[in-house]
Amino acid sequence: MEKTDIRRKTSPFFHVMVKPTGPICNLHCTYCYYLSKKDFFKKQESFRICEELIEKFIKQDIAAQGTSLVNFSWQGGEPILMGLDFFRKVIEFQKKYCPPDKQISNDLQTNGTLLDDQWCEFLRDNKFLVGLSIDGPRELHDYYRMDKKGNSTFESVIAGAELMKKHNVEFNTLTVVNRMNGQKPLEVYKFLRDELGSQYQQYIACVEPKDFAQVAPQYWDRQKQPPIDSTAARPGQPDSVVTDWTVDPDDYGNFMCAIFDEWLRHDVGKIFVPMFDTALGLWMGLGSSSCNFAEVCGTALAMEHDGSLYSCDHYVYPEYRLGNIATDSLSEMVYGDRQVKFGHDKRDTLPEYCRKCDVRFACNGECPKNRFILAPDGEPGLNYLCRGLHKYFKHIGPWMKLMARELRAGRTADNVMKIANKDVSRPSAEKDIKLNAPCPCGSGRKYKKCCGASQIA
């Protein structure tokens, strides 16, 4: 108990993503990692959280938070399937248990296809921040995001976005970077910016081992982890260990570099991309605002419809079940030894290749769920996205240093747009590098196949 109290003082904030409908959704997206979670629960089970559990959770969550702002996140599956009456009850419980010295905020992730005027009025009136899942223009969005009959969902998603605009609902976009849209970075970014009007764009990489539905992360067979430069560590190959829809690691690096360049020249201070904001904080020595790039994690958990709490949204497996809100204390589960070890393992299990990397301070091995390939020296546990992440961090590094310098000098970071538009390459001698020359980042690849790829794109 004493250890728990100490940890609460050093890490007073944690976040629980609530899955009120569990994995149940009205769509059937090819790459969805969550639909298969229903196999972990009893057949014929009702995938709806009961009122008693949600009240108990809200009460404990508010009491356990050590900060004045308490955030509740609602995801799925599709949380809209719970209906408006459920969320009206949520607001009622939040008001009931929130003391005068704390404030409540809510965010909700949705595919947008079930929104109507009544929903949008509720979301606006209760100041919900909505995350809208959309993967780019029609041909890219519909490639993997289909309904249960295999039909297009694009028009329904756009209709949902238009309804939110009509009712002044604050919403962001969340885009899964997959094998298809990962090859079209500027088509995706410009569509979200120019046609949808998204000013806050979140990008997450689609990375799924073929056995992800049955095998929990860190329980992989180490003897089957492929070397970093093998065909097995790429999607679409006969011996690949990942699904066909997983983004190629090099495509992912090129994707983020290309979007960064477009943002750098036109949109600094106007469009917000969390991955760029996180990087700037790291280059300023402020630490990571994202668990993906933090040295340790463990403060972002997930609660299922039956009240079970799991170490992370991507670790909803029996092996990572911490307990249940119906019988266990939320704070004891969050701050207990098991969850603390889970978070510290992110740092403590880094392969030596990562520990010696020149961008470790910015990457920190990214999410442990993606660490299932062999490093060049044969050590297991390297991140599948390593090549792409290294390319991205080396590419943005000079600009991040410049933005950090501007901010420290009391100027705004958007000053770099003027510099970037004069120097269409990078604020260094790289603008003179030949495409077939070795890349200066030290990867051993040609410049055109590494940091220069985004310029070609």
Which residues are tagged catalytic? 313
DSSP codes of every residue in 195-209? IS--SBEEEEE---B
- DSSP SS3 for 426: coil
Rg (CA), the chain: 22
Closest alpha carbon to 279 in 402, 143, 419, 183: 402
Tokens encoding 209? 């081992």
- Under DSSP, the state recorded for 130 is E
DSSP codes of every residue in 208-241? -BTTTTTS-TT-S-GGGPPBTTSGGGSTTSTT-S
For β-strands 382-383 and 128-133, DSSP reports them as: unpaired
Which are the contacts of 323, defined by CB distance < 8 A and separation ≥ 6? Answer: 308, 309, 333
Is the separation of the CB atoms in 311 and 323 below 8 Å?
no
CA 2 to chain centre: 33
| CB count in 10 Å sphere of residue 321 | 16
Rounded CA gap, 111 and 145, in Å?
Answer: 9
Rounded CA gap, 457 and 446, in Å?
Answer: 15
Closest alpha carbon to 440 in 449, 430, 448: 430
Rounded CA gap, 425 and 403, in Å?
Answer: 16
Rounded CA gap, 344 and 330, in Å?
Answer: 20
Q: Give phi and psi for 409, each to the nearest 5.
A: -85, 0
Rounded CA gap, 24 and 13, in Å?
Answer: 29
H-helix or E-strand spanning residue 372: strand 371-373
Which are the contacts of 330, defined by CB distance < 8 A and separation ≥ 6? Answer: 16, 57, 60, 61, 64, 309
For β-strands 371-373 and 382-383, DSSP reports them as: antiparallel
Is the separation of the CB atoms in 100 and 156 below 8 Å?
no
Is the separation of the CB atoms in 112 and 78 below 8 Å?
no
